[in-house]
Amino acid sequence: MASGLLDGRVLHGHRAPLHRVRAGRQARLAGTLTRHSPPARDGAIIAPDSCELRGSGVRIEGEHRFSLPRITVWELLQDPDVIRQAVPGCKTFEEVAPDTYELTAQVGIGPVRGSFKGKVAMSDQEPETRYTLHAEGSGRPGSATGDAVIQLADDGDGTHLTFDADVTIRGAIGRVGGRLLTSSARGMARQFFESIERDAKAAAQEGAAT
């Protein structure tokens, strides 16, 4: 990632060892969650607000409020281990080039199920503020390509995240009904954000106990 928060932090052109980076991140999570841990307000998960079908394409917009400071949310979204655990059905998520990852996942939308292999690249990064994701993947259920803009903003002691994605879908997975695609997108987004928040709180508790 441009911020250097990959499998090692970029410091003056060199990566720090992986264990030092993760230990430092865990300590920061423990500290920030101790200082910033308001209860999540009702309706904290709002994802997505809309899902618009455009032929073989789908536009998805949504938002989520984290009860975490913005720097913590940013670091979590840059952590490959966090992403691997948060993406529904994700089996592997590995860096293959700077800001570029390959993943495998088990995907199911209604009766259409199967494994996917894909690639995700991050660009246009403004640390703690926004970045763009480009993703593409294919498998037995079909194929998909898409771009998403993710933006972060302070919201009291928490963080307001918004995303705007355009996805083109082909094959069997693209032939399921629009309502089913919408509900599946909503469920996957909710699972992703909830998992990230749980990961942060668990890391904070573990760090505080050591």
Domain layout of the chain by residue ranges: 42-196
Range 27-37 average pLDDT: 47
Total-model pTM = 0.70
> Are the C-beta atoms of 120 and 131 separated by less than 8 Å?
no
- Cα–Cα distance between 107 and 184 in angstroms, integer? 10
How much is the pLDDT for 176? 77
CB environment 143-156: b (16+ within 10 A), e (fewer): bbbbbbebebeeee
Phi and psi (nearest 5°) for 20? -70, -40
- Cα–Cα distance between 141 and 151 in angstroms, integer? 30
Name the more confident of 2 and 25. Answer: 25
* Highest mean pLDDT, choosing among 32-36, 61-65, 117-121: 117-121
Please give the DSSP secondary-structure letter assigned to residue 193.
H
H/E stretch holding 29 reads: helix 18-35
Q: At 180, is the pLDDT very low, low, confident or very high (cuts 50, 70, 90)?
A: confident
* Tokens matching residue 176: 């399921």
How much is the pLDDT for 35? 46
Q: What are the strands, taking DSSP E only, across the chain?
A: 10-11, 14-15, 45-54, 57-66, 90-97, 100-109, 112-126, 130-139, 142-155, 158-170
Q: Give yes or no for residue 8 having a pLDDT over 50.
A: no
Q: Give yes or no for residue 103 having a pLDDT over 50.
A: yes
Which CATH number applies to 42-196?
A: 3.30.530.20
Q: Which of 17-26, 98-107, 185-194 is the least confident region?
A: 17-26
Range 72-101 average pLDDT: 93
* Highest mean pLDDT, choosing among 13-22, 126-135, 170-179: 126-135
Range 66-88 average pLDDT: 92
- Cα–Cα distance between 173 and 187 in angstroms, integer? 16
> Are the C-beta atoms of 115 and 140 separated by less than 8 Å?
yes
